Structure 1
Amino acid sequence: MERVFDSKNFPGQEALAAWTEMAQREVMPKTFRAVDSDVFRGWSDEMSLGPVQVSSVAYPSIATSRTPKSIRVSDPECLQIVVPRSGPHFIEQNRRSTLVRPGELVLLGSSRPFESYAIGEAMLMQFPIALLPVSARHVDQLVTCRLPGDKGIGQLLVDYLGRVTDNHTCYTPADTPRLGTIGLDLAAAVLAHHLEREDEIPADSRQRALYTRVTSFIQDHLGDPMLSVDGIAAAHHISDRSLHRLFQAHGASVRASIREQRLERCRRDLFDPVQRHVPIRAIAARWGHLRPADFTRAFRSAYGVAPVDYRHQALQYSSAWKTSRE
């Protein structure tokens, strides 16, 4: 993510004009008006994932308008998905209006005028409508409709955006095209689900979305010692064989993926000085390892050192780092 705007860098009376210039350059031509204050305070971070642009923004009470004149100036013919993280977001387009709150998402199209009023923070995902396997005519039915982002495939899209924006330092330039593809697959799956047109989604896109849904399910249930291939397959209404094929297509193994992620969560907790008083067996059990001896062998095999020695080394490193900062 790159911070493309921060009001701290501008005198109070100039910040709104600078925000407007940034939005016209990075997103699309729009006009803005600060509400209840003459001073604009906010920031915007952006990350380019190929043709997909993901942003994280914060603003005070602000009114936004995209007029027919703005559209004539420039129309990227894109779809924007807005996911509020805090505060209400009121949006009007296509003669429809809606109030969107955290836990929900809403769509906006660049080719028609819209008005909005918002306060707080939001995540935005923008991409050309032409990249969707669902026609623009059908997508238009969902513009300005409030869609659930706290359950089902909508929650998976919101989780994806949250992980991309919050953990952006974990990704390399080589990861960005793949992240963009995943985002498009999830967006297409959300739209197709609400339009009841899942059959229009290409098979490879459906498989990528399913893989993302399954891996997210695994991450959410790593602490369950009963997590199994059978249970994962049943939760997604597919056979064990189909689940194994799904992972093989991505060069992975279901059981190996579970094992590696559990060990990595344990390693991170052992490295955390805040958890230095938590017994190792408790950390192991937290992530599904109920037999301490088996956990020790698996950890040593993965990281070349026993859990107790790894924690000792991590604490020494933390202490040395603090001393160097003093």
Structure 2
Amino acid sequence: MLTQAVIRTDDVPPRDRFAFWQECMTRTMAPMEMSAPRPGEFRARKRLLYLDDITLWPTDPGSSRYRRTPRLIRRSDPGLLHMTLVLPGSGTIRVDHAGHRSVNEPYDLYFLDTSRPYDVCSDDERRLVGVGVEIPRSRLGAVGDGALTGVLGRRISGRRGFGGLLTRFLTQLSEESDTYRSSDAPRLNGVLLDLVTGPISHELDSQAALPPQTRDRHLVLAVRSFVGRHFRDPGLTARTVAAAHHVSPRQLHRLFQPEGVTVAGLIHHQRLEQARRFLADPALAAAPVHTIATRSGFTAPAHFSRSFRTAYGTSPTDYRRSALRHTTALPGPGPDAG
């Protein structure tokens, strides 16, 4: 299991809870002036996940305000880039930082630099539900302090593009942290760092300033996500994927060589897996095999049958018969679902 700790204000007497939370936030981020509408009733919970020098912390404190002042910065500066992903159930969060003001709602992201003053507060008295991330600013490499000014305090979408990839990763890691071992922390650290620099570089249009290896990993993630959304389109090919990402087919092939799979192979695999799931679904038992193939992205039934047999060692019909023999008919999605 990943190294982690759980912090709850319920573990201390009510009169000490807000001061306890302030001390916890100081240790996690940096010293801040904090206030709450009703500090005597304040409650909060935070889970700290340690990924080497990056800390990820799902949290849900009550309505509160956090101010990092020049005086506090002079007293102590850990040199961190902080990121918050706002999650459903949270009230809106107002951010005033680095000359930018934003109002953030569920599935928004925003960044703070602990070396600069900021003012973050809830816009109502609802809880602040989200995931915080603390990254040493030195880990950002070529994305320097000057470039960061353009993104600090801004509202960034966590629903699409690199922001969407980051949201899915943080959500999955937060919810399933117990499925990872402590030895996975360095790998998760690298993945998270790459995903965080993605929306930053996109917002700043500074891809040229990033190391080539990081740019390549970003593009691999983007291509995989694109294929996952569009593989059922029979017109999807490696060439159309390359065009959608503004690279040549040769560049795309070079990019995926370390992955051990071609883009055409990735598309083909996604289509086969979709067809296999449909064939095993009792709700689709009456759908002809050729319909399953078509709606999974295949254009030729004979080619689909040969490919399926090569991949799974049996024909689509025999696979369906075997799969349905061991299941009970339950309602499920139609071939157009997903």
TM bracket (short chain): 0.7 to 0.9
Give 1:61's aligned amino acid.
S
Q: Secondary structure of the residue that 2:259 maps to in structure 1? A: coil
- Structure 2 partner of 1:197: 206
Q: Work out the CA distance in 2 between the residues paired with 1:314 and 1:76.
A: 56
- Structure 2 partner of 1:321: none
How far 1:6 moved relative to its partner? 4.2
User: Is the CA contact 1:79–1:107 (under 8 Å) kept in the aligned structure 2?
Assistant: yes
Q: Secondary structure of the residue that 2:41 maps to in structure 1? A: coil
- Structure 2 partner of 1:65: 67
Return closer, same or farther for 1:165/1:187 CA change in 2, 3 Å cut-off: same
Give 1:277's aligned amino acid.
A
Indicate yes or no: 2:145 matched with 1:136. Answer: yes
Q: Please state which structure has a larger fraction of its residues in strand.
A: 1
Indicate yes or no: 2:238 matched with 1:229. Answer: yes
Q: Work out the CA distance in 2 between the residues paired with 1:37 and 1:283.
A: 59
- Structure 1 partner of 2:132: 124
Q: Secondary structure of the residue that 1:232 maps to in structure 2? A: helix
- Structure 1, unaligned runs of 5 or more: 319-326
User: Is the CA contact 1:182–1:209 (under 8 Å) kept in the aligned structure 2?
Assistant: no
Q: Secondary structure of the residue that 2:64 maps to in structure 1? A: strand
Give 1:63's aligned amino acid.
R
Return closer, same or farther for 1:211/1:32 CA change in 2, 3 Å cut-off: same
Give 1:93's aligned amino acid.
H
- Structure 1 partner of 2:154: 145
Indicate yes or no: 2:45 matched with 1:43. Answer: yes
Q: Secondary structure of the residue that 1:210 maps to in structure 2? A: helix
Indicate yes or no: 2:103 matched with 1:99. Answer: yes
How far 1:235 moved relative to its partner? 0.8
How far 1:167 moved relative to its partner? 4.8
- Structure 2 partner of 1:250: 259
How far 1:171 moved relative to its partner? 4.6
Return closer, same or farther for 1:297/1:103 CA change in 2, 3 Å cut-off: same
Q: Secondary structure of the residue that 2:232 maps to in structure 1? A: coil
How far 1:248 moved relative to its partner? 0.6
- Using the aligned pairs only, state the percent identity: 30
User: Is the CA contact 1:296–1:307 (under 8 Å) kept in the aligned structure 2?
Assistant: no
Q: Which entry has the higher C-alpha Rg, 1 or 2?
A: 2
Q: Secondary structure of the residue that 1:249 maps to in structure 2? A: helix
- Structure 2 partner of 1:109: 113
Q: Secondary structure of the residue that 1:115 maps to in structure 2? A: strand
Q: Work out the CA distance in 2 between the residues paired with 1:293 and 1:7.
A: 63
Return closer, same or farther for 1:267/1:120 CA change in 2, 3 Å cut-off: farther
Q: Work out the CA distance in 2 between the residues paired with 1:122 and 1:14.
A: 24
Q: Work out the CA distance in 2 between the residues paired with 1:268 and 1:18.
A: 50
Q: Secondary structure of the residue that 2:239 maps to in structure 1? A: helix
Q: Work out the CA distance in 1 between the residues paired with 2:109 and 2:166.
A: 10
- Structure 1 partner of 2:84: 82
- Structure 1 partner of 2:248: 239
Q: Which has the larger displacement, 221-230 or 2-11?
A: 2-11
Q: Work out the CA distance in 2 between the residues paired with 1:265 and 1:54.
A: 34
Return closer, same or farther for 1:109/1:248 CA change in 2, 3 Å cut-off: same
Q: Work out the CA distance in 2 between the residues paired with 1:308 and 1:45.
A: 46
- Structure 2, unaligned runs of 5 or more: 331-338
Give 1:201's aligned amino acid.
L
Give 2:50's aligned amino acid.
S
Q: Work out the CA distance in 1 between the residues paired with 2:239 and 2:28.
A: 46
User: Is the CA contact 2:80–2:137 (under 8 Å) kept in the aligned structure 1?
Assistant: yes
User: Is the CA contact 1:48–1:54 (under 8 Å) kept in the aligned structure 2?
Assistant: yes
Residue-by-residue CA offset, 1:150-196 (whole Å, 9 max, x unaligned): 44444443344334334545555554433332332333343333333
Q: Work out the CA distance in 2 between the residues paired with 1:144 and 1:73.
A: 22
User: Is the CA contact 1:182–1:208 (under 8 Å) kept in the aligned structure 2?
Assistant: no
Q: Normalising by structure 1, report the TM-score.
A: 0.78
Q: Secondary structure of the residue that 2:190 maps to in structure 1? A: helix
Return closer, same or farther for 1:315/1:20 CA change in 2, 3 Å cut-off: farther
Q: Normalising by structure 2, report the TM-score.
A: 0.75
User: Is the CA contact 2:29–2:80 (under 8 Å) kept in the aligned structure 1?
Assistant: no
Return closer, same or farther for 1:216/1:8 CA change in 2, 3 Å cut-off: farther
Return closer, same or farther for 1:96/1:226 CA change in 2, 3 Å cut-off: closer
Q: Which has the larger displacement, 201-210 or 252-261?
A: 252-261
Q: Work out the CA distance in 2 between the residues paired with 1:304 and 1:41.
A: 57
Q: Work out the CA distance in 1 between the residues paired with 2:39 and 2:70.
A: 27
Q: Which has the larger displacement, 66-75 or 233-242?
A: 66-75
Q: Work out the CA distance in 2 between the residues paired with 1:74 and 1:21.
A: 14
Q: Work out the CA distance in 2 between the residues paired with 1:285 and 1:43.
A: 49
User: Is the CA contact 1:35–1:62 (under 8 Å) kept in the aligned structure 2?
Assistant: yes
Return closer, same or farther for 1:218/1:175 CA change in 2, 3 Å cut-off: farther
